[in-house]
A and B are shown apart, each in its own frame.
Chain A
């Protein structure tokens, strides 16, 4: 019986993921030792303790909760699409469109919407992100565009489109400065007092909504007929078609949902806390791309993505803390990318683990 628990799919995946994380951390440590000499150990400690030592435990947790929201959403976007067989590299674009839509509503309609502005901002972000994902889905399904090429191209299109729209909009754009005006307070997500509980952090209700969205995504995949269809398409498109599933519609629905998740991420990030200002550059925001490691680390499972999002946010907070020691926060990216790299042959770790468990129990009996 105990053996059964140890080799359940969940346990096996969990252990394999932990192994990859440990390897990632170890390689990070080695790199630190090679490049940073005497601050290497304190810096490493900073990463594994999330830099909580600097600002106190509660504030540290609050910061993690804050950073986790956007990457949890883009992670969900990427992971959900991957479950249906689509590599949604377009998440950064959907994120940006969502960010813009939320900003637009908050800046233009706050007088009319009053205290509900933030609700409509979120809805607008979800809707527009979803539409952008839908556009990509239609191009892929009906015009046979390669998902990767299509996603990359639409990312750039969305970047310049958003920049253009902001630039030409005097309510949004602070002339000469190159960034947007701050979101009015009615446009901000309620804090649920999280910023006070987690002393002086930017934590807000976004994390609560984020978790809810992940749970909803989980239920869609696990319980609904639409989820059954989308998963079938992801696992075996031909069989889904044979079974009478409209595979094009399922793929488009998946992209719509993925777009909604990423779009929500964009709005909840930008309307999350006081004083956010979007800077107009020719580069995409990194949150969309971070969604990829979040999804992969969470094995594309919506509930696991909650935790992988929190984990990567935790590393990022540690990475920011590390800067106080003069070490670039890119060290965290190295650790995550090495972890992701080892995820690519996760199967190997799983097999090793199962064999190990088999041996352990075999000898005991």
Chain B
């Protein structure tokens, strides 16, 4: 049983950052702006967040939450040029997104060196919650979600809820979707497409930045200018999840599960005894995604105007 709990906890650590970042990404994509720069956003968030945690010494959960907010702001800052290029200057959205991804790791190195004088940013991990009072005693569920947990799990749930509610129940969500499906129609109804898209992209920067720190804290002991390609995986999760928050949950669960299998097989004697190369296990999540996509239905939920330069017209 403890093996099972361990596996669930590990899966959560893998999937929660993906869940957060991918759900952040759709705020941009549903408004019609490609967000290929999730990797860069995560790096910015991871950098700023760990830098904050490096300086605070108390190490309370409150600090972690402030750190997540700092990370979110950093994500917004780094995505801003992409927003300006894509929305105001009508630039190529893949190129500017890619530029952000190239820029981010280098910028964190330069800034880290300028601020701390070294390349790695260390922090002390005070943030693992061994037992959540009361809740951890619930049978099964307690062991799965409320022991050896991080507050980022809760953040993930909140982000998911926000995405579901915003896209289905709010005026802003309706406007965002209209801008991504048919911006000319939205504009003709008096919706400010430019402003709506800016807000969408900035929200995705904020949430993506949070996801960056939510990846670093449980999975690393220091920030070394990498988020292990999770931002690119989040792009894949969005497509896999067909731009739908709930489907994105399942897609990140799938990926988190596969990834955990790859990371933890050494602790499972049954798998270890097979004598399969460690690289095969490392390959599994990626191979599985390809195989699933080959068989999965072709219907996609891609917004119609995604990546298309918006020109105002009357026709």
| A–B contact at 8 Å CB threshold (below) | yes
Residues of chain A having any CB pair with chain B under 8 Å: 31, 34-36, 87, 139, 143-146, 148-150, 152-154, 156-157, 160-161, 163-164, 167-168, 282-283, 289, 292-293, 296, 328, 330-334, 336-338, 340-341, 343-348
Bound CA–CA A340/B235 (angstroms): 21
CB neighbours of A143 from chain B (8 A): 293-294
Q: A148-B235, A282-B228, A343-B95 are in contact. List 19 more A-B contacts (CB 8 A).
A: A139-B290, A149-B236, A149-B239, A149-B289, A154-B286, A157-B286, A157-B287, A167-B277, A289-B102, A330-B107, A331-B110, A332-B106, A333-B105, A334-B107, A338-B99, A340-B99, A343-B99, A344-B85, A344-B89
Kindly state whether residue B233 has any CB partner on chain A within 8 Å.
Answer: yes
**1/0 contact string of B80-99 vs chain A (CB within 8 Å):** 01000110011111111011
Most chain A CB neighbours (cut-off 10 Å) among B114, B287, B290 = B290
A337 and B235 contact, Cβ closer than 8 Å, known pairs A144-B298, A153-B286, A160-B279: no
Do the beta carbons of A345 and B85 come within 8 Å of each other? Answer: yes
Dominant secondary structure of chain A at its interface with chain B: helix
CB neighbours of B233 from chain A (8 A): 152
CB neighbours of A146 from chain B (8 A): 239, 293
Do the beta carbons of A156 and B109 come within 8 Å of each other? Answer: no
Do the beta carbons of B294 and A344 come within 8 Å of each other? Answer: no
CB distance from B21 to the nearest CB of A (A): 14
Can you list 10 pairs linking A and B with CB atoms under 8 Å apart?
A34-B114, A35-B113, A143-B293, A148-B239, A149-B289, A150-B290, A154-B290, A334-B107, A337-B100, A344-B89
Bound CA–CA A333/B99 (angstroms): 10
Contact among A153, A168, A345 with B89 in the assembled complex (CB-CB below 8 Å): A345
Contact among A163, A338, A348 with B279 in the assembled complex (CB-CB below 8 Å): A163
Bound CA–CA A163/B99 (angstroms): 29
Contact among B93, B106, B110, B236 with A152 in the assembled complex (CB-CB below 8 Å): B236
Do the beta carbons of A344 and B279 come within 8 Å of each other? Answer: no
Kindly state whether residue B103 has any CB partner on chain A within 8 Å.
Answer: yes
CB neighbours of B110 from chain A (8 A): 31, 35, 328, 330-331, 334
Do the beta carbons of B99 and A344 come within 8 Å of each other? Answer: yes
Nearest 10 Cβ contacts at the A-B interface: A345-B91, A333-B106, A164-B279, A341-B99, A337-B102, A330-B106, A344-B96, A337-B103, A344-B91, A344-B95
Do the beta carbons of B290 and A35 come within 8 Å of each other? Answer: no
**1/0 contact string of B255-280 vs chain A (CB within 8 Å):** 00000000000000000000001011
Do the beta carbons of A153 and B290 come within 8 Å of each other? Answer: yes
In chain A, what residue has the closest Cβ to B107?
Answer: A334
Do the beta carbons of B290 and A145 come within 8 Å of each other? Answer: yes
CB distance from B234 to the nearest CB of A (A): 10
In chain A, what residue has the closest Cβ to B309?
Answer: A347
CB neighbours of B86 from chain A (8 A): 344
A-B CB contacts (within 8 Å), total count: 136
CB neighbours of B113 from chain A (8 A): 35, 328
Do the beta carbons of B85 and A334 come within 8 Å of each other? Answer: no
Kindly state whether residue B186 has any CB partner on chain A within 8 Å.
Answer: no
A149 and B287 contact, Cβ closer than 8 Å, known pairs A334-B103, A338-B103, A345-B89: no
Kindly state whether residue B123 has any CB partner on chain A within 8 Å.
Answer: no
Kindly state whether residue B232 has any CB partner on chain A within 8 Å.
Answer: yes
Contact among B92, B93, B106, B109 with A337 in the assembled complex (CB-CB below 8 Å): B106
Contact among B89, B106, B239 with A348 in the assembled complex (CB-CB below 8 Å): B89
Kindly state whether residue B229 has any CB partner on chain A within 8 Å.
Answer: yes
Bound CA–CA A346/B89 (angstroms): 10
CB neighbours of B27 from chain A (8 A): none
In chain B, what residue has the closest Cβ to A332?
Answer: B106
Do the beta carbons of B92 and A164 come within 8 Å of each other? Answer: no
In chain A, what residue has the closest Cβ to B94?
Answer: A87
CB neighbours of A346 from chain B (8 A): 91
Most chain B CB neighbours (cut-off 10 Å) among A145, A167, A332, A345 = A345
Kindly state whether residue B111 has any CB partner on chain A within 8 Å.
Answer: yes
Do the beta carbons of A341 and B100 come within 8 Å of each other? Answer: yes
CB neighbours of B111 from chain A (8 A): 35
In chain B, what residue has the closest Cβ to A282?
Answer: B282
